[in-house]
Amino acid sequence: MTHHSHALNTETPASPGLDGIIVATTRLSEVRGKEGHLILAGRAIEDLAGFVSFEEGVRHLWKETALPAGPTLFRDLAAARQAAWTAIPAMAALRSRSPILLLQTGLAGIQVPDVLHPAIAMTAAFPVLVAAAARLAEGQQPIPPDPGLGSAHDFLRMLDGTTPPMWKVEALNRYLVTIIDHGLNASTFAARVIASTQAGFQDAVIGGLAALKGPLHGGAPGPVLDMLDAIGTSGHPKQWIEAELAAGHRLMGFGHRIYRARDPRADVLKEGVRRLPKTERLALAEVVETAALAALRNRKPDRPLETNVEFYTAILLDGIGLERTLFTPVFAMGRVAGWCAHAAEQQAEGKLIRPKSLYAGPSPCGNDRNGTRASGMTGNESIS
Ligand code: ACO
């Protein structure tokens, strides 16, 4: 006979999704949802993104950890891009697969030299591997890195083989810094769990990327462009938006679960979009944003529904010429620095992350003593 006796369980109830549970202390970032602020290692995101390069953003974050964040970081990252180049042949065999899979393969294939800190090796690898994955998918030869350039600049050059204009480099730096870290999001938590086993930075980064890949996390900006395409084709933005809302659908790129007043990252990226050369696509995005905000205010006057970070991410990355299949890999290119910083913090803490589960399965035959019981070290699970 089996038992499903929840009534016998006296443990703390489960918290699905760990909603509201604090599982780490960090010096890296603070998300203040109610006020609409994001603090990165003591500085408001508005005072950092758009003013510093990706490398300077990494230094700012990493100086709160034991990671190497000295004045040579720019040079070290540039040199480490060359070490990543050795992983390209393993990716070439999988050229028809998704860019994320190629990226995971490349990251796993990197042999980090002893002289290189693995966090530097991982962070430096992204521009090289993402550009290579994009070119391989197009049947083109990857282009080797140039250690004289910054990460964003070198990435754009490796992507299409030409020197990118500075406005593109600046826009990409702004984006990479904007999304470098954001509290204990799913991929960062995944990276911390892996780091807590002392598995190392390479594994923490590969695991973070696997978590980021899901549509509930890093896979979101694509639908904003799909929506813009549909509105552009219709030729009637206002009517399209009204019909969409009347059908009970949500407008992509508006609203946020945590930032109720404003998403500070959206403001920072909006400024980046404002600096892009004007195109028809940008003009359409502006019309759509104005019409969408008016329609949302009209329908939900009591609910602040603002443009979110995904809207401007899509417009900005599209504006600098990136394919939408690259949006998630490019997001990872910035967030990897956050994963490494959190992995370093977790390693320093030295505590294995090992929560409990609430057992709701059958009891062993003949055992009518326990009913449902919480598992864990004292329950029916071993340490593994
Ligand atoms: N378009 C139309 N209506 C919306 C939108 C939207 N984008 N966002 C919220 N609403 C409506 C809801 O339908 C709801 O109406 P109801 O009370 O009549 O049911 C009301 O506003 C309140 O919304 P909530 O349910 O409180 O919003 P929630 O916190 O659940 O959702 C979310 C946040 C998921 C981001 C939502 O705004 C949404 O689906 N937006 C569109 C998708 C999107 O842009 N995703 C990327 C988010 S950015 C990021 O994740 C980093």
The structural domains of the chain, with segments of one domain joined by +, span 29-219+323-349, 222-319
Mean pLDDT, residues 285-311 taken together: 93
H helical segments located in the chain:
54-62, 73-84, 88-92, 99-109, 118-137, 151-160, 166-178, 186-196, 201-212, 222-234, 237-246, 264-274, 280-299, 309-319, 327-349
Closest CA to 315 of 291, 287, 295: 287
Residues 6+ apart with CB under 8 A from 156: 164, 168, 169, 172, 320
Nearest Cα residue to atom 31 of ligand 1: 257
Mean pLDDT, residues 197-203 taken together: 97
Mean of the per-residue pLDDT values of the chain: 90
- Domain 29-219+323-349 in CATH 1.10.420.10? The answer is no
Mean pLDDT, residues 340-349 taken together: 97
Ligand 1 pocket member 253 (CB < 6 A): yes
pLDDT for position 259: 87
Nearest Cα residue to atom 23 of ligand 1: 255
pLDDT for position 14: 74
- DSSP H or E segment with residue 44: strand 43-44
Lowest pLDDT segment from 6-20, 21-35, 43-57, 361-375:
361-375
When comparing pLDDT for 298 and 366, which is higher? Answer: 298
First CA to last CA across the chain, in angstroms?
28
pLDDT for position 121: 98
Ligand 1 pocket member 303 (CB < 6 A): yes
pLDDT for position 312: 93
Would you tell me how many other CB atoms lie within 10 Å of the CB of residue 75? 12
- Ligand 1 pocket mutation pick from 305, 306, 312, 331 by most atoms within 8 angstroms of CB: 305
Q: Could you tell me the strand order of the sheet in which 43-44 lies?
A: 29-32, 37-40, 43-44
Q: What is the maximal distance between C-alpha atoms in the chain?
A: 74
Ligand 1 pocket member 300 (CB < 6 A): yes
What is the C-alpha separation between 249 and 294, in angstroms, rounded? 16
Lowest pLDDT segment from 69-73, 298-302, 338-342, 371-375:
371-375
Predicted confidence (pLDDT) per residue in 97-113, tens digit: 989 999 999 999 999 99
The CATH superfamily of 222-319 is Cytochrome P450-Terp, domain 2 (1.10.230.10)
Nearest Cα residue to atom 42 of ligand 1: 252
DSSP state of 43: E
Look at residue 4 and tell me whether its pLDDT is greater than 50. Answer: no
Interval between CA 306 and ligand 1 midpoint (Å): 10
Q: Do domains 29-219+323-349 and 222-319 have the same CATH topology?
A: no
When comparing pLDDT for 3 and 55, which is higher? Answer: 55
Residue 256 is among the residues annotated as catalytic for this protein: yes
Amino acid at 150: G
Look at residue 287 and tell me whether its pLDDT is greater than 60. Answer: yes
Compute the half-sphere exposure of residue 333: CA atoms within 13 Å on the CB side of its CA: 30
- Ligand 1 pocket mutation pick from 254, 270, 311, 327 by most atoms within 8 angstroms of CB: 254
| 83 in Cβ contact with 113 (< 8 Å) | yes
Ligand 1 pocket member 181 (CB < 6 A): no
| 344 in Cβ contact with 205 (< 8 Å) | no
384 pLDDT band, cuts 50/70/90, is: low
3-state secondary structure of 18: helix
Lowest pLDDT segment from 165-179, 212-226, 240-254, 327-341:
212-226
Residue 342 is among the residues annotated as catalytic for this protein: no
Nearest Cα residue to atom 26 of ligand 1: 257
Closest CA to 127 of 181, 74, 85, 163: 85
